[in-house]
């Protein structure tokens, strides 16, 4: 059987790897982007000089031949689902099963000048090349969109001492996801790094110069910011243009069921481009992040190799880094507190670290963790959330979750203090950071409710 995977990002490659682990099928991965799989999340580090392109490749080049995974550099123009054949820019390719892992592209919302030269997002290797190209003699850059990629782009230009104006539509950075305190912490940190942060400001249009390149950005407040590059980082959308007007069911993304099957037999979709027809409670239909892509890749490999498993991503987790502040989240944490939840928030006096613990007021069960500048253990947090551990048990043992390096100060007692202040209780922190206690805790079987 010939399994063809379109897209060599984390989703497609994970699928290929697990297909190989589990079967002897013929596997081909097609990409027009790069010859080999690289870590998309590391693009910023290439630009900043922390790594070279080759350092971002998680597997050495000999890995693919050794594992009999054929890599094909080609651009898929269209899919003939009836005849199970792909029309490539350099030929055709037949498949028995097809995995669509085609990823997404930066959003453009119809701004005048959005297609000028020197305007673009940061998703693909080509996007990085564009940034690099226009960085030469770049005096000023404007970034549009207050999310994870926008702040990465700001950090990239900042690393080259290129002044940045950062237009954020919302009243505070990423406030659709971060609660106000965390969001404001990042606002302060952006300003501390000398970025011209403009909140509640939208892009109206991009003005061209005589060569058809961006020369200035105009905001909805009537300001004109001179610049030679405009970064568009207002989210992404699935790359499904080449699949429109086919039998494949698509909306925003490619519609898949819980087994990641599309409406066409032997065709699957995973990663950024997949849209769940029935997302799990509390989850979005499209989750364009690294971790979900990796999990879907593994799941689809099982489904193709006679081990039918549903894609159930379980407890939400994610991470990011805003300049120098690391962010981790575990569980169901929202920008606005969910009805019936209670929150405990502690922030370090330096304003760059915080711990937030949410719990259910009625049942007392832990709901999740939001961490800024502090590292927590994935497995411990997950186990607490999934076993609906009572908040006071979690707080008394909070040191189990601490994953900061040795010698780092432990802040768990302040979280307990904040809880006591809020509730008038006298809870005491009994467990500090300790690996042995963690090992015992994780190996203990807990009855799930």
Name which of residues 372 to 401 contact another protein (CB under 8 A). Answer: 375-379, 382
Binding string, residues 88-127; x marks residues near another protein by CB under 8 A: ------------------------------------x-x-
- In angstroms, rounded to a whole number, what is the distance separating the alpha carbons of residues 214 and 315? 43
Residue 97 belongs to what H/E stretch?
strand 97-100
Q: Which of residues 417-436 bind another protein (CB under 8 A)?
A: 435-436
Q: Which of 72, 84, 97, 189 binds another protein (CB under 8 A)?
A: 189
Distance of CA 305 to the CA centre of its chain: 28
Q: Which of 88, 199, 207, 309 binds another protein (CB under 8 A)?
A: 309
Smallest distance from the beta carbon of 190 to another protein, in angstroms?
A: 11
CB crowding 410-430: b at 16 or more within 10 Å, else e:
ebbeebbebbeeeeeeeeebe
Smallest distance from the beta carbon of 196 to another protein, in angstroms?
A: 17
- In angstroms, rounded to a whole number, what is the distance separating the alpha carbons of residues 341 and 128? 42
Q: Which of 85, 266, 290, 341 binds another protein (CB under 8 A)?
A: 290
Which CB atom, from 316 or from 419, has the smaller least distance to another protein?
A: 316
Which region, judged by CB under 8 A, interacts with another protein, from 90-98, 134-142, 229-237, 268-276? 134-142
3-state helix, strand, coil in the chain (%, to 5): 30, 25, 45
Q: Which of residues 225-254 bind another protein (CB under 8 A)?
A: none
- In angstroms, rounded to a whole number, what is the distance separating the alpha carbons of residues 291 and 286? 13
Smallest distance from the beta carbon of 449 to another protein, in angstroms?
A: 16
Q: Which of 48, 74, 199, 338 binds another protein (CB under 8 A)?
A: 48
Which region, judged by CB under 8 A, interacts with another protein, from 108-116, 267-275, 315-323, 414-422? 315-323
Which region, judged by CB under 8 A, interacts with another protein, from 159-167, 179-187, 262-270, 356-364? 159-167
Binding string, residues 401-420; x marks residues near another protein by CB under 8 A: --xxxxxxx-----------
Which CB atom, from 114 or from 219, has the smaller least distance to another protein?
A: 114
Q: Which of 319, 410, 420, 431 binds another protein (CB under 8 A)?
A: 319
- Confirm or reject binding of residue 317 to another protein (CB under 8 A): yes
Helix (H, G, I), strand (E, B) or coil at 328: strand
Q: Which of residues 57-86 bind another protein (CB under 8 A)?
A: 57-58, 60, 75
Q: Which of 311, 316, 346, 359 binds another protein (CB under 8 A)?
A: 311
- In angstroms, rounded to a whole number, what is the distance separating the alpha carbons of residues 432 and 403? 11
- Spatial CA neighbour of 20 closest among 293, 260, 302, 312: 302
Concatenating the DSSP letter of every residue in 378-436 gives HHHHHHHHHTT-BHHHHHHTGGGGB-PPTT----HHHHHHHHHHHH---------S-HH
Which region, judged by CB under 8 A, interacts with another protein, from 55-63, 336-344, 354-362, 413-421? 55-63
Smallest distance from the beta carbon of 386 to another protein, in angstroms?
A: 9
- In angstroms, rounded to a whole number, what is the distance separating the alpha carbons of residues 207 and 200? 21
Q: Is there a contact between 301 and 22 (Cβ–Cβ < 8 Å)?
A: yes
Number of residues that bind another protein (CB under 8 A): 78
Q: Is there a contact between 426 and 395 (Cβ–Cβ < 8 Å)?
A: no
Smallest distance from the beta carbon of 68 to another protein, in angstroms?
A: 18
- In angstroms, rounded to a whole number, what is the distance separating the alpha carbons of residues 128 and 360? 44
């Amino acid at each position: 059987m010939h399994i063809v995977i379109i897209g060599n990002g984390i989703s497609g490659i994970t699928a290929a790897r697990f297909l190989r682990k589990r079967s002897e099928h013929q596997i081909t991965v097609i990409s027009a982007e790069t010859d080999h799989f690289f870590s998309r999340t590391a693009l910023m580090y290439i630009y900043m000089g922390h790594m070279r392109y080759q350092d971002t490749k998680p597997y050495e080049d000999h890995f693919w031949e050794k594992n009999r995974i054929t890599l094909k550099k080609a651009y898929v123009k269209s899919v003939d689902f009836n005849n199970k054949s792909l029309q490539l820019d350099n030929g055709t390719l037949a498949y028995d099963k097809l995995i669509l892992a085609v990823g997404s592209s930066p959003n453009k919302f119809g701004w005048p000048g959005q297609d000028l030269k020197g305007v673009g997002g940061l998703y693909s290797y080509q996007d990085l090349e564009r940034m690099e190209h226009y960085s030469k003699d770049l005096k000023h850059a404007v970034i549009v969109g207050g999310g994870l990629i926008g702040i990465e782009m700001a950090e990239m230009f900042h690393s080259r001492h290129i002044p940045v104006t950062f237009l954020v539509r919302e009243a505070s950075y990423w406030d659709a996801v971060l609660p106000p305190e965390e969001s404001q912490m990042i606002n302060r940190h952006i300003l501390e790094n000398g970025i011209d942060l403009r909140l509640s400001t939208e892009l109206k249009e991009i003005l061209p110069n005589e060569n058809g390149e961006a020369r200035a950005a105009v905001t909805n407040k009537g300001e004109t910011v001179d610049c030679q590059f405009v970064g568009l980082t207002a989210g992404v959308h699935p790359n499904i243009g080449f699949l429109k007007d086919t039998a494949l069911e698509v909306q925003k993304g490619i519609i898949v069921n819980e087994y990641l099957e599309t409406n066409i037999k032997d065709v699957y979709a995973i990663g950024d481009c997949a849209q769940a027809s029935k997302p799990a409670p509390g989850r979005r239909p499209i989750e364009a992040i690294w971790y979900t892509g990796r999990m879907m890749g593994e799941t689809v490999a099982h489904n193709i190799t006679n081990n039918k498993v549903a894609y159930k991503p379980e407890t939400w987790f994610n991470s990011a880094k805003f300049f120098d502040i690391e962010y981790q989240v575990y569980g169901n944490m929202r920008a606005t507190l969910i009805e019936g939840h209670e929150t405990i928030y502690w922030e370090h006096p330096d304003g760059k670290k915080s711990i937030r613990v949410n719990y259910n007021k009625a049942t007392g069960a832990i709901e999740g963790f939001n961490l800024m500048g502090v590292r927590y253990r994935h497995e411990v947090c997950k186990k607490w959330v999934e076993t609906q551990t009572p908040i006071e048990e979690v707080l008394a043992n909070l040191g189990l979750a601490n994953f900061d390096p040795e010698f780092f100060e432990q802040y768990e007692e302040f979280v307990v203090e904040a809880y006591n202040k809020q509730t008038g209780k006298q809870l005491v922190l009994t467990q500090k950071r300790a690996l042995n206690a963690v090992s015992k805790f994780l190996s203990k079987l807990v009855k799930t409710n």
